[in-house]
Every structure is written in structure tokens, then in C-alpha cells.
Structure 1
Amino acid sequence: MKTSQEIGKPINRLEGNLKVTGAAKYAGEYNVGDLSHGYIANSTITKGKIIEIDESKAAAVPGVITIITHKNRTKLPWFDMLYADMDAPPGTPFKPLYNENILYNGQPIALVVAETFETARYAASLLAITYEEEAFETELAAHLDEARDPKKGMATAIKPLPPTNKGDFEAAYKDAFARYEGEFTHGAEHHNPLELFATTAVYEGKGKLTVYDKTQGTSNCQLYIANVFSLHYNDVRVLSPFVGGGFGSGLRPQYQLFLCVMASLMLKRNVRVTMDRTQMFSFGHRPQTIQKTKFGANSEGIVTALNHTAIAETSQFEDYTEVVVNWGNMLYPAENTSLDYKLVPLDVFTPMDMRAPGGSTGMHAIEATMDALSYELNIDPMEFRLLNYSEVDASENKPYSSKELKECYKQGAEKFGWKNRASKPRATKRGNRLVGTGMSTGIWDVIALPAKAKAKFSKDGKLKVTSAVTDIGTGTKTIMTQIAADSFAVAIDDVTFDHGDSDMPMAPIQGGSYTTGVVGSAVKAACKALQKKVFKKAKNISDSPLSGLKITDVVFKNAAIYSKEDFSKFINYKDIVVADGKNWIAASKSNIPNLLELKKYTRAAHSAAFVEVEVDEELGIVNVTRAVTAVAAGKIINPKTARSQILGGMVWGISKALREESMTDHNLGKYMNTNLGEYHIPVHADIHDLDVVFVDEKDDIINELGSKGVGEIGLASMAPAIANAIFHATGKRINKFPIHFDDLM
């Protein structure tokens, strides 16, 4: 007797029809009665103090309900707390409307609440603000001599600082047969998900709230609201069933949530606050970072010396860190290393995680350096990486839980046709275009966290599984449904997975490529717990065919429990529920990872990207004509949604290498291109032949599913492969992202 296996099938997104027809509702779209609208006014200076806010003209606009500033806000207990959310880095979280001090350009300084959005927006434009300006600093490169070590805090538990240096780097580098030294820079980048940040707060009376928020963590926002406004957790419900893209921007509660909830509690009515596109540039970003590398190798092509340093920006009030310099020695087992990571506090908002944070930054420097060294040695770039391949993580002397990177190289190269490339730069042309190929390695950590899920089976034969986890567009709802169907042994059409509600079992914020493994393991655990409960009840049924059997004596298949010895002895799940006399049987279970065991291993997904570019010889315009990314990420739950994630990362790699940057005027201390017309990201015409290869990889250590997640790994290897391909095409190595055409003219 066979049971259909749903894990591994390329199933379409279960919510796809709702999204494409517009039936899916997002945070700013819920129909709520008696709804007022808030519009945020932002600081136009970078640092200083508010001397006066003249509200007279704004308050006189018909339809304006109230104007909230630091002078009339409610007293909040959170302002004496150190941490207010799961993703807070060391330091003191930003406090909207706390006092008259301006900490960064674009800081929220007032909320105008009116009967309509248009009225609130117009009235906000009439606020007359008098400032006292102070000197500010926003340019990282001008303050490198002030760099310091990051402060340690809760965030460093999953963002380790650089490992201890080994050997004698200086001596090894001096004695190296071949050397390469490089400096790599990139400016700030901002998340630009299609859905704007919005919050709809429904005042339920007596201090109770139902909040629809654009977030990557409903449980996190519930925690935040309860702490900030001194509410009981059970009186706060946060819902976010649909999210129009996150990429890390929704990991922390953003300030529109704070302002919306404050207004709702003050007015005792329903309020909605929606940011506009410019305001999406007023919180969080990928930080400016300057990196330096020095790699040395012996005459046989073995890397003997590895130096990687990085200096990144942070705010004046929090120490945001990224894992930037750790990756090189994890991949390449040099015996002499010197690694360092430092921060420079600037007058900016705290940076925040942005898809493959630290990984996409660090891999550019590491993989461009490896590429350059391969040319110094006259060794094929892929062969050079294979010469330095390691089955262990040399940085911590740990084995990998699994590592099929070698197969990524092999299968990716074969799919791409790597063996056909010319070995020398500037050797291939198509008309007036120089053609180049490049490759790069990618790596991303597998993070283990606890989560909880609930499963219940009804007398109608339906399985319902719930978790507070959000789905930021990655296909979480679909793959959790597949996991539940297989774990409980029922048809997928009989399974419903509900999510995005803080009233449901707790789940961590969705990010870091850990959701599938973490929440998926909780779903599996809940379904297995439900099977045990159903079996126990089945044995107690009068004349039960399973009487006297142990759970090891039965199998769960096709929504029924069968005796292993005699398949004619069975009982259907539905009959068990009916016999129990209730509408359903339920079980909850947490996924608690064994951290002591997991710490014995380095856990990571790997990738290899292969890229072809064409560069106009006269104009310097770069076009990525084709690319292949081969990925080893454990068990792939759904190849279709996973492929979509990798393709998205590859597109972002094109954006990072060639398009994307937040332009800062350091004389004004502000970002200048705060719109999608001037913040350049790829369009359809920029994207050509992209392909994905999933390499088989078995891992029995990382979690119950053996799944590593694919959200970040597709980005980590793509951008450096593009830079390496541009060098192969032109003979010019450009170490500043994004690479502009004028760099190549």
C-alpha cells in the first residue's frame, strides 16, 4: 500500500489565485468602519533639535482630528526598556516622538490624523517646523579611523563575530608565491518591496486591539505592542496573512506600527497609517561597507594566507552587525588568517537585515579576490576553488553537517558550458560587445530556532494546521501544507494551513532562510503528536482492530491506521474522531532544536553561480546574457517555489552588481533617490536566460526535515560572479558595487 508523497512535488502556490485576482488583503486594505487615517511628517534636517512645531494651519484643515507630536504623546513604559523586539541589535531601540532631538534625516516627528488619507497628507504638509541644526556625519569613508569593535548583545548569538586569527598571516602573505590585495566598497541599499508599510489598528474597546500590519513576524509585533503600550499580550492580536515582499524590512516593527497603535489608543477609534514610497527610505537599509582583502597562495595553488577586514556603518543608538568576514575561511582552509570587523556610528537610522545580510557583501570581496588570485596563478577559477576545497570548516575546525558544494561546481559548470570558455580576458567578442564568463561560490548559515504548531483533525476528514508564521511571498503556506499532508498521512486536498496570526502558536520572525526548517519541523512534530493521540483513542474504541497493539506495530497511511502484520485490520482517522464524540482531535507541539548537538557541526547551504556578460566596448554598458546557479540546500520541499526563490536572488544579484544604490548627499545627510524612478532596480528587459540546478543533498542533522532554506543562497554567489565575468570580458577588475558603465568606458 502506497501513500502519495507531497514533499518534493512542484505544487503551485495555494494562495496564488487570491493574489492574482486581488482577493488577498494586505495590511492597508482591510475594510474597517469608522476608520481615520494618519499621515507621518518627517524631519527635513539630519541632526539637531525641534524648537517649535506650528500646527495652526494644519489643525484648521476641515477633517483633521488630531496632531500627535513629542509634546502631547501618551506616556509609554517602553521608553525605559532596553529591548522591544526579537530582532533588536545591541543598544537602545529608536523611540518615535520621544523628545525634540533629531537623530537622522527623515525621522518621524509628527502624525496628523484625519477623516481621510488625502486630508491627513495635505495637513501634514502645512506643519511649520523650526529647527536648531547641528553638525552631522553620514559618510563612512571619512571616518574609518574612528572604527571600533561592535558591542556584544543578544543579536550576536545568531550573528557571530569574526573567529580568532590563526597562524602568522603577515609572514605567510610575505612568503606567498602569488598575492592579491583589494579594496571593495558599496554604499547603502534600501529594501523596496512592492507593498508599502502600513498598519490598520482596530480599537476593540477597553484597551484591546486587533492590528493588521505589514510585518515578517506577528508574534514579534504582538510582543512589541504589549511592551510599548503596557497592554496584556492577550489583548493584542496581530494579523498579517499576506505580505507583499519583505526581504528583511519587516523583521523589526517599523515606526508606522508604533504611531498607528498610539493614535488608536489615544482616540479610542480605528486608525490606519500608510507610508509613502519616500518614507520607505527612512528606516533600515543595507549598510555602507568598506572591505579589504589580502590572499596569498603557494606555487601549487593552495591558499596559505587569508586576510579580510570590513568596516560598516551603524547608527548612533544601536550596533547593527553583519557576518561579513567569516565566510572565507569557512570555505577555504588557509592556515594563516587575519579577520576583523568594525563599526562606525553615523547620523543615520540603524541598518537592518537585507536579503543575505553580510553574506552578499562579504562574498563579493572573497570571491573577487579568489578570482583575481586564480588569474595570477594561471589556474582556471573553478579549478582553483576545487584545489582549495575543504570538507570541514577550518575557521572553527568543525565538520559540515552536509556539504555538496563540489557537486554544485560540477553540475553548474556542465549546465553552463564552463569548459568552453576562453582562458584569457578580452578574448571573445560578439560584434562590438566583449563577452566574458565568471563564476563564484555562495554560502549561507542554517539557523536553528524553536517554533510551535498546532494540528487538529475533524470528523469531516480535514486536517487543519496553524502557526503564527508569516508568508512573505516565499510559498510558506504551500510547503507547510505539503509537510503536514505527509507528516499526518492524508491527501493534500484535505489539509489547510492557516498562518499570520499572533493568536496562533508562536513562530519566530520569518527571515534568515530558516523558516522551512524551523516552522516546518514544528508542523511535522505537531502532526506526529496528533497521530499518537489519534492512535491512543483508536485503541480505546470498542472492538478496535488495533486493540493491544503498540504504536510501533502500526503504520499511518491514507488517513488511516493499519496493523503492520495484517493490513485488513485498520481504522480510518474520521471514524476515530466520531467515536471520540467530538468535532475534532487536536495536538500542539514545539520544535526545540538540540543546540548542544548542532554546535558540533557547521551548518550551511552552498551554491555556485556561473554567469555570462556582454559589455559594449565603446559605451561600457553591461548585459547579463545568461546565468546558472547550482544549489545544495538539503531536501527541497517544493522545487517550484524553491526555484522561484533562487531566481529572485539571481535577479537581485544583477541589481546589486549593476543597478542598486541609495545615493547620499553627505552635505545634506540625506538619501536623494527616494523613489522607484531613480532607485534603479532591474526591469524585464534586463533579465535574460536564468537557470537553477538543485543538487541532491541529504542531511540528517540540521532538523527533522533535512531542509536548509533557499531565500538567501541564490543572491550570495550571483553578484560576485557578475563582477568576475566583467573582468573576463574587459580585463578591468571593478571592486565597487554597483559597477557603472563609466567605470568600463
Structure 2
Amino acid sequence: MSGDVVGQALSRVDARLKVTGAATYAAEHRIDGLLYGVVVNSTEARGTVTAIATEAARAHPGVTHVLTDFSALRLAHSVAELVFHGQPIAVVVGTTAEAAAHGASLVDVTYDRKPARTDFDDPGATSVTAPSNPDYSRGDPDGAFASADATVDLAFTISRENHNPIELPSTIARWEGGKLTLWDKSQWVQGAARTVAGALGVPEQDVRVHCEYVGGGFGSAIRAYDHVVLAAFAALRTGRPVKVVLSRRQFSYGTGYRPASRQRLALGAGRTGRIESLLYEVRTETSRYDAYEEGLTDLPKFLYGVPHTRTRYRLTAIDTQSPASMRGPGVVSSAFALETAVDQLAHDLGIDPIELRLRNEPTRDEVTRLPFSTRKLRECYDLGARRFGWSRRGAAPGSRTDGDLLIGMGMATASYHNNRRQVGSRARVDADGTATVETATSDMGPGTTTSVMQVAADALGLPARQVTFRLGDSAYPVAPPHAGATTMASVGSAAHASCTALRNKFIAMAVADPASPLYRADPATVVVRDGRFGTGESGATDSHREILGRAGLPGLEVTATWGPGDTDARISSYGYGAVFAEVSVDPLLGLVRIRRMFAAYDVGRVISPKLAHSQAIGGMVGGIGMALMEATVTDHRDGRIVNASLADYLVPVNADVPELDAAFIDTEDPLADPIGVKGLGEITIVGVPAAIGNAVFNATGKRLTDLPIRLEALL
């Protein structure tokens, strides 16, 4: 792939719309005749509803409907009994949001309460093998561990985390002629259409979902949760459009979350630092109605060349709503355990942490036995160490101070699978020479609208100002969820395919047209740049506009599909990174402050450097939150989330975020996809909590294995 637009540090094409308030988010669409719906949530985690008193709510001025019978809906969980605290049990609809909200507060519910288990550390809770993560073993891990010269055996706890983007879950539903239109905050508009159609028992083609802008997601909007279905249901029952927006509190128990985990990671090594044995055991929480699991075992099995390895993954079902993907799902959690244990091993053996990792670099994927497409991890270590000043790190914990503060440096490895999925893309060039490319993906913040436009512009040979990428409409060609670091490699490759096919169609028309300056030219020699087709030999050129004009066509369109095929059966394709952190610790207060962070990444071709750098910074901020602040607290008497507000659920703010920087290895991965990219969105949080924890150890000598790191652990 060559051209002038890819690689430019462009600003987001929608930046002005967003900062001026002109971008229209899900709840902001102006729909005639709109009513407002407010969900009434259960205050018990388990049992049944024996009575719902709605008279006061129905009598409240402005309330038009109170819906309590959801038996016709096919939801992910039971509607006949309560299975989690906050489960929807009614929807109050009113002419104003205020009337509906007050009406909802007047609904009185009586329960037949049953004992609930909401603590997944409860000794009475049962655990089962994760269905998609069977026990794995290679070599003789127990024997190798028993005979190792040096061993590390650590236990880790990571608290549940809730997504807290600025935009709340929001849906507007409108029925017209038996067809449903939804304006929904969604990371997967086609998945939302499928879920709602299935829940209501209507044909999927009768549901259309729009979501052009997303005000942050982090995984919270991949699924269409109950409120989306209930908005559609309320609109159907009332005969008018209905808007439902969850409150910040409802957000916490109305959508998913990063599941809490309990991990054990043990390493056995020789005196030279060669790791011979790795034992990994993990347990995460899930709901009783959904066996949700994550890719926690991926990195421990794969990242280092360990001949004797065993992993075990168990799920513990409790009375809660289902977990969901949250940035770096599974991988960031297991990376904390793995990279903390490796750091401890390096300390015990007196080997520099980077050197220890280099001594355990594999030559191929130890799980699949496949060759790496690219693996420039050594270059990431070198670049990161040089830019961060790793040589100034004191190897002995507590050896660096700044006044009364202890100063420490830590690092960790990051990796994430290069996910690619099948995507359809429609490309069109109109008679005025402008192009439009469409696919049903979303953009929750990484700048997909901009970066895919850059790929399309180069494939068509047009300047960026003449190309528009449209997304967020379920009627557009098929796309996977905007998640899992899948979008650029998949959607970008599909856009490249459709635009390349369209460019070739223009070339074929030009060389076959006697009126074209390129008549009878060899199509293989024709190139297009800045809107002009030419061979570079005679100087004669043609353009999209002229080709269409001579043919009397208003435009030319091509739809193409791209998918990875059997590529993953032939190569192991991952992104890689090295994350560095420097912290200060106040030994009197136990206060940890991040002083600076830097990360170096091998993520293939970087399409949009400014947006890629922004992604890296955002991932680091999320990692700071996971390491030092974020923890969902549950009252186990009834399953209520205690800190379901931004006043009580702590996230990093400007004062918590220091100098952050990132750089990218100059490389590409042409074996993985035609545009040579690897996913970036997820990897940028992986390794961040571990690097911070390792820096805290370097500062204090205290090996902390619980997240978030709390003040009392350092006092």
C-alpha cells in the first residue's frame, strides 16, 4: 500500500463537530412526538416480584404509561424471577424526562426474597472450567518447577471494574409501518439490531440501528443491554417514539464490567534466568445466566519460550449481571500476574528485568508452533529503555530518593492478538470527483472515521479532503463489533479492497476509452495520485471526474468483502510493546504518584500517527486507573453496588496523569492483512498496571499483588 495520505498526522475529521457540540450522540436526536422512559430496577439480587404498586406513578402528572409485563420479551436472563440487583422490573413513560423519573420513584415493589450469593470469594460458591478455555499443558510443568534453581509463586487479586465513559447508555426507539429504527449508543449496530429483533420476535431486516458518534465505550456498548430492548418495547406499546437514558448509577448495574479475578502464577527457572516452568491458575466471576470468560490464559501460554507450562481457568457463577469486555479484556489482568512474577524472578536472580525477558524470547509461537508474522519485541525494549532512561534505574529497591519520596522504575511487556474479521465495504466515486466509503462499524474514540478515510484515499488516489468514510448504520455492509482491536485491520482492509477494486474499474474504463489520454495503456502501469491517473511515461493524465463525464455516469460503485481467511492457521500475528513507568511513593502517607510513562510498540503500519499516539496515551490513563484507583464495591447483603457514581468510583483525572509518551517501531505486517497493520486499541492498556506495580516495588521493596494498589498496603 502506497500513497500520500496514510502516515500523515491528520487531526480527526469529526474533531470540530465534537468540540463545538455539533456531533449528534444517541440521546440528542430530535424526534417528533418523543416520550421518555425510565427503568425501575430491582433492589434485590435474587427472588421474585410478588406485587408492583403502580397507581401513584400512573397518577403523577405527565406519566403516560407504566409497563410491568415483560413476559413477551426474550432477554438474556429470566424475566420471571430476579437474577441480579438492578434487574429491570418496570418502565415508566412520560411526556418529560422529569415526569418519568419521578413516576419511577413512586413505583412500589414487593419481593419474595431468596438468599443471594454476590461474593465470588464466598467459600460456598462453586467453580467450573471455562468452556472455551480447557486446561492446557505442555512438558512436565510440575516436575520442572520442583527441580528449578529459583522459583516464584505469587497470588493476585484484581477488583471488579466498571466502565465509566462520559456518554451514558442511551437509546431512542421509533416504529413506523412495522419497522423499528433505533438511535443507540453502540459499538456494534448490527449486533444491536440482531439482539433487539430476537428479543421482540421480529425479522432482523425490520430493525435499523444508527450510531454515528460514541462518547466513549471501553466495551460497555458492545452488547445491546436490557434498556435498548425496553426502549423498543415501550415505543411499541405506547405507539410513540421513546427515549431511555440510564443514570450513572444504573450504568453500573445495567451493563457489564471487568470481572474480578483471582490468579496464581508460579515460575521455575535456572540460575541463568532461563524459565523452565510456568504454572498459571485463574478464576473469574460470572453471572448464573451467562458463562462469560476472557482470554486470560493467552499471554502466560504464549509470551515467553517456556517448555513446561500449565494453565487452568475456572468460572465462579454468582447472583450478578453478566460481565463484559473492558479494554484489554482478560489480557491486561493476566499480564499483571505474569509481568509481576517475571519482575520478581529478575530481582531474585539479580538480572536486569529486560535482560531476563530477552533470555526467554521464543523463536516461534509455543502454543500453535507457528512462525511469528512479525515480532519486534527486542526493538521495543531497546527503544523504550533508551528513550525512558532505563540505565538510571537503581537495581536495589529504595535506592533512589527525591527528598522524602522514594523513587522507582518498572517495566512490563505488552502483547495482544491481532484480531481480524470479515468485513464488507461499499465505495463510490461521484461525478464531482468526491468519494464515499461505507461499512457498519462504529467509532467510540480511536478515530476510525479518519484512519479508514486515509486508507481509502490512498487506494483511490484521491486527496483526503475528497474522501468521506461513513459508519454507524446497520444497513451498511457487514462489520464485526468495534472491539478487540479488530477495527483497523479488518475494516481498513475491507475499505482497501473495495477502493482498490473501484480504482481498477476506473482504470479499465480509461484504457478502453478512445477519448481518454490513457487509451490502450497497460492497466498494470497506470497509477493514480491526487485524483489523476497516469503512466508516468507520456505525461498524459485522466481523472475520476473526466472518466465519469465521458461515460455519462453519475458515479461508480463497488462493494467488496475482505476477511483473514486461513491466515491464522499459517502465522502467529500479535502486537507487542514495552511499557516503562516511574513512580514516587510517600512512605509516610502511602501515596503513589506516577511521575512519567513511556511505551514502545510494534503494531505494524501506523496509519494515522497522531491518532495512534492518542490511543497509547488513553490506554496508559486507563492502566493508571486499574493500577491505583478503580474498584467496584458491592454490598453483599443485597448485591447493591455501593460506589455507583463518579463521586465514589475513582478514575484518573488531570492531576493524576503526568508526562505520557509513546513511540512506534517502523514496521508493517503484510502477512496478516493487505494494509500491514496490527490492532492498537487494546494493547495500550496491557502491561501498564504491571509496570506501575514493578516501579512501586523498585521504590519500596514491597511486592504488591492486589489491584488497585491501596494506601494501606504501603503504610
Shift, 1:163, TM fit: 6.8
Give the whole-Å Cα distance in 1 for the aligned partners of 2:611 and 2:117: 43
The CA deviation string for residues 510-557 of structure 1, in whole angstroms up to 9 with x for no partner, is: 001110010000111010111122223224434333333442232223
1:259 aligns with 2:239: no
The CA deviation string for residues 346-380 of structure 1, in whole angstroms up to 9 with x for no partner, is: 11111000000001100000000000011110111
Given the superposition, is the C-alpha separation of residues 230 and 46 from structure 1 closer, same or farther in structure 2, using an over 3 Å criterion? closer
Give the letter aligned to residue 102 of structure 1. Answer: L
Q: Report the equivalent of 1:115.
A: 95
Contact 1:652 1:715 in 2 (8 A): yes
Aligned match for 2:243, one of 242, 266, 272:
272
Give the whole-Å Cα distance in 1 for the aligned partners of 2:539 and 2:600: 46
Q: Report the equivalent of 1:553.
A: 525
Q: Report the equivalent of 2:687.
A: 717
Contact 1:183 1:735 in 2 (8 A): yes
1:444 aligns with 2:420: no
Give the whole-Å Cα distance in 1 for the aligned partners of 2:186 and 2:587: 45
1:22-61 pair list within 5 angstroms = 22-61=21-60
1:578-597 pair list within 5 angstroms = 578-594=549-565, 596-597=566-567
Give the secondary-structure state (helix, strand or coil) at the position aligned to 1:713.
Answer: coil
Give the whole-Å Cα distance in 1 for the aligned partners of 2:2 and 2:156: 53
Q: Report the equivalent of 1:235.
A: 206
Aligned match for 1:134, one of 104, 114, 122:
114
Give the whole-Å Cα distance in 2 for the aligned partners of 1:621 and 1:557: 56
Q: Report the equivalent of 1:515.
A: 487
Q: Report the equivalent of 1:17.
A: 16
Shift, 1:592, TM fit: 2.2
Please give the TM-score of this superposition, normalised by the length of structure 2. Answer: 0.98
Q: Report the equivalent of 2:362.
A: 390
Aligned match for 2:460, one of 475, 482, 488:
488
1:124 aligns with 2:113: no
Give the secondary-structure state (helix, strand or coil) at the position aligned to 1:529.
Answer: helix
Shift, 1:390, TM fit: 1.8
Give the whole-Å Cα distance in 2 for the aligned partners of 1:656 and 1:637: 28
Give the whole-Å Cα distance in 2 for the aligned partners of 1:728 and 1:331: 23
Q: Report the equivalent of 2:589.
A: 619
Aligned match for 1:332, one of 304, 308, 316:
304
1:641 aligns with 2:640: no
Shift, 1:330, TM fit: 1.2
Shift, 1:220, TM fit: 1.3
1:603 aligns with 2:573: yes
Contact 2:3 2:459 in 1 (8 A): no
1:468 aligns with 2:446: no
Aligned match for 1:530, one of 494, 502, 515:
502
Contact 1:208 1:235 in 2 (8 A): yes
Give the secondary-structure state (helix, strand or coil) at the position aligned to 1:323.
Answer: coil
Give the whole-Å Cα distance in 2 for the aligned partners of 1:599 and 1:198: 40
Contact 1:201 1:209 in 2 (8 A): yes
Give the whole-Å Cα distance in 2 for the aligned partners of 1:453 and 1:4: 20
Contact 1:530 1:586 in 2 (8 A): yes
Q: Report the equivalent of 1:408.
A: 380
Contact 2:507 2:526 in 1 (8 A): no
Aligned match for 2:72, one of 51, 68, 75:
75
Give the letter aligned to residue 26 of structure 2. Answer: A
Greater Cα shift, 597-606 or 420-429: 597-606
Taking only aligned residues, the RMSD between alpha carbons, in angstroms, comes to 1.6
1:643-658 pair list within 5 angstroms = 643-658=613-628
Give the letter aligned to residue 126 of structure 1. Answer: L
Identical residues among aligned pairs (%) = 35
Contact 2:62 2:94 in 1 (8 A): yes
Aligned match for 1:94, one of 77, 80, 83:
77
Give the secondary-structure state (helix, strand or coil) at the position aligned to 1:715.
Answer: coil
Given the superposition, is the C-alpha separation of residues 162 and 414 from structure 1 closer, same or farther in structure 2, using an over 3 Å criterion? farther
Given the superposition, is the C-alpha separation of residues 134 and 330 from structure 1 closer, same or farther in structure 2, using an over 3 Å criterion? same
Contact 1:636 1:707 in 2 (8 A): yes
Contact 1:438 1:724 in 2 (8 A): yes
Shift, 1:329, TM fit: 3.1
Shift, 1:633, TM fit: 0.3
Contact 2:135 2:310 in 1 (8 A): no
Given the superposition, is the C-alpha separation of residues 698 and 102 from structure 1 closer, same or farther in structure 2, using an over 3 Å criterion? same
The CA deviation string for residues 561-591 of structure 1, in whole angstroms up to 9 with x for no partner, is: 2235x33333211111112212111111111
Given the superposition, is the C-alpha separation of residues 144 and 312 from structure 1 closer, same or farther in structure 2, using an over 3 Å criterion? farther
Contact 2:489 2:678 in 1 (8 A): yes
Q: Report the equivalent of 2:293.
A: 321
Q: Report the equivalent of 1:300.
A: 272
1:432 aligns with 2:404: yes
Aligned match for 1:423, one of 395, 398, 402:
395
Give the whole-Å Cα distance in 2 for the aligned partners of 1:678 and 1:476: 32
Contact 1:598 1:701 in 2 (8 A): no
Q: Report the equivalent of 1:155.
A: none
Q: Report the equivalent of 1:83.
A: none
Contact 1:658 1:739 in 2 (8 A): yes
Contact 1:143 1:344 in 2 (8 A): no
Give the whole-Å Cα distance in 1 for the aligned partners of 2:124 and 2:508: 65
Give the letter aligned to residue 322 of structure 1. Answer: E
Give the letter aligned to residue 569 of structure 2. Answer: K
Greater Cα shift, 661-670 or 107-116: 661-670
Unaligned runs of 5+ in 1: 80-92, 153-160
Contact 1:163 1:396 in 2 (8 A): no
The CA deviation string for residues 107-128 of structure 1, in whole angstroms up to 9 with x for no partner, is: 1111000101100000000111
Shift, 1:298, TM fit: 0.3
Q: Report the equivalent of 1:156.
A: none
Contact 2:511 2:523 in 1 (8 A): no
1:351-370 pair list within 5 angstroms = 351-370=323-342
Give the letter aligned to residue 212 of structure 2. Answer: P
Give the whole-Å Cα distance in 1 for the aligned partners of 2:205 and 2:271: 66
Give the secondary-structure state (helix, strand or coil) at the position aligned to 1:375.
Answer: helix
Q: Report the equivalent of 2:697.
A: 727
Please give the TM-score of this superposition, normalised by the length of structure 1. Answer: 0.94
Aligned match for 1:673, one of 643, 649, 655:
643
Give the whole-Å Cα distance in 1 for the aligned partners of 2:441 and 2:503: 23
Shift, 1:162, TM fit: 5.5
Shift, 1:144, TM fit: 8.0
Give the secondary-structure state (helix, strand or coil) at the position aligned to 2:221.
Answer: coil
Give the whole-Å Cα distance in 2 for the aligned partners of 1:516 and 1:408: 21
Give the whole-Å Cα distance in 1 for the aligned partners of 2:573 and 2:135: 16
Give the letter aligned to residue 422 of structure 2. Answer: P
Give the whole-Å Cα distance in 2 for the aligned partners of 1:606 and 1:491: 32
Given the superposition, is the C-alpha separation of residues 716 and 322 from structure 1 closer, same or farther in structure 2, using an over 3 Å criterion? same
Give the secondary-structure state (helix, strand or coil) at the position aligned to 1:392.
Answer: coil
Contact 1:329 1:393 in 2 (8 A): no
Give the secondary-structure state (helix, strand or coil) at the position aligned to 1:140.
Answer: coil
Contact 2:424 2:479 in 1 (8 A): yes
Give the secondary-structure state (helix, strand or coil) at the position aligned to 1:300.
Answer: coil
Contact 1:74 1:266 in 2 (8 A): no
Greater Cα shift, 326-335 or 291-300: 326-335
Give the secondary-structure state (helix, strand or coil) at the position aligned to 2:138.
Answer: coil
Contact 2:57 2:107 in 1 (8 A): yes
Contact 2:43 2:638 in 1 (8 A): no
Q: Report the equivalent of 1:572.
A: 543
Give the whole-Å Cα distance in 2 for the aligned partners of 1:163 and 1:416: 39
